Amino acid sequence: MIKKTLTQSEFIEEFKSSDYKNNFSYNGLIELYNYFDNLGEDINFDMIAICCEFSEYENIDEAYKELTGKQEESIEEMREYITDNTLLIEFEGGIIILNI
């Protein structure tokens, strides 16, 4: 099996040139790449799995409502709920969560 290490630019280009180009924003893809890179282990690039396992939202309110079906709580309560139940990646312009 041939393995290739993707650079951040290649990772982003793989998404942006695919049918999944709208699943994550440019900033979201940067944060996902950084998350995978910081794991410190080799992983196989599987775009479909990434799209199934992670979701991007504009803000924490949107993610909280999607996860719980409840109305807004305080930002701290929503962040606590999400971080207690899944992975939360926050960045300028949105958040990404690991789907539960």
Provide the sign of the torsion angle of the four alpha carbons 48, 54, 59, 64, taken in this order: positive
pTM, two decimal places: 0.89
Confirm whether 3 is domain-assigned.
no
> pLDDT class for 99, splitting at 50, 70, 90?
very high
SS3 content of the chain, % helix, strand, coil (to 5): 50, 15, 40
In a domain, residue 79? The reply is yes
**Would 78 be classed as within a structural domain?**
yes
In a domain, 86, yes or no: yes
- Inter-residue contact 70 to 37 (CB < 8 Å): no
pLDDT digits (tens, 9 = 90+) for 69-79: 887 789 999 99
Domain residues for 29?
Answer: 8-98
Q: Quote the number of domains for the chain.
A: 1
Distance separating alpha carbons of residues 1 and 54, to the nearest angstrom: 27
Element holding 54 (H helix, E strand): strand 54-57
